[in-house]
Amino acid sequence: MPRRTNKPIDKILIGLLAGLSIFGLIVLLSASGPVSFQYFSDPLYFLRRQILIGLIPGVIAFVLISHIDYRKLQPLAFPALIASIVLLLLVFIPGLGHTVGGSSSWVKILGFQIQPSEFVKITFLIYISAWLAKKGQREGMTKEGAFSFFGALALIVFLLIVQPDTGSMFVIAATAMLLYFSAGAPLAWFITAGFGVLALLGILIKLTPYRAARIMTFMHPELDPQGIGYHINQAFLAIGSGGLLGLGYGQSRQKYLYLPEVHGDSIFAVMAEELGFIVVILFLIALGCLVWRCFMIAREAPDDFGRYMAMGIGIWIGFQAFVNVASMTGLMPITGVTLPFVSYGNSSTLSIFAALGIVGAVSRRISANRIERV
């Protein structure tokens, strides 16, 4: 039974988590109203489900996990890898797998839709962190260690590609590779891996026309504004309309069934349209502070496993937010990645809160060590 501790959790982490969550609900309330009414005759449908199925279970998970000795997770590294593979295979089981928007990335259990890849972000991170903590500089940074690391990562990436879930694949792969690099892996390995990724993307683009269309839209969004370029052009229109101060809360025009996925990956555009550049920058600063706090907790962690877990979770949240914002502002192709704490997504919300519970557990161990030294 994991040993519990009553040592104080990091208060800055709690404050940022609470503030971002409340802000996210406020934005979701406005952005999701029209589409909620259109499909469910209830303007609060998505907000209610976000609170009941995403936020409340997430808060419970955060509290419970933050009171557990996170070090008990380290021996579960290999089971966590197996769990990651099993979770990603569930979507291919007939009757269990569920297709949404052309992607078979969901399972339907007891009437609830769950996206397994969101929880793989935690389970695979546990495996990678435990692997790095165990192998260290001596074994983990050898060629044999590199083959082991990239072999496990390639398997996870392959299972995500065939779904396809390109967004989650980017987030998981980037988190793992940046964490490996921060542990001291040679830069040459990542340059080699980068060329491999480019080659893989080239093959995927050649085999799947819709990916080629996304790349063309990214490079020339004006080519087909009513077709494949419709999504990004509507996002540009929303963001541009907001200006410095925004049109005012609740005053978005694009959310009225013009901009696709206003409650999901496009919610950043609605936020910018209604609240303007200044509020958007303040939100991104707050999100950046949360990521930085994860890094600070990682720096003070009393062991390698806690350090890699806290750092990996910070990288995950920061990179996912970057991908969402970059796709809405035309800096990279649209991938369907949600904006942490703001976009509607029960699996995403629950997984992020659970992950931050681990960061909270690390901060408790830091506090315990300080008290013991006194």
Residue 355: what pLDDT?
Answer: 97
Residue 4: what pLDDT?
Answer: 45
Residue 212: what pLDDT?
Answer: 56
CA distance 155 to 84: 10
10-residue stretch averages of pLDDT, the chain, 374 residues long: 62 95 96 92 93 95 94 93 92 78 71 87 95 76 80 90 84 91 78 74 63 57 60 88 92 88 91 95 97 96 94 96 92 84 94 97 85 63
Q: Which residues contact 263 (CB under 8 A, 6 or more apart)?
A: 28, 31, 32, 35, 36, 46, 343, 344
Residue 216: what pLDDT?
Answer: 56
Q: Which residues contact 214 (CB under 8 A, 6 or more apart)?
A: 228, 333, 334
Residue 100: what pLDDT?
Answer: 66
For 5: left if phi > 0, alpha if psi spans -120 to 50, otherwise beta; the answer is: beta
User: Where exactly are the structural domains of the chain?
Assistant: 20-369
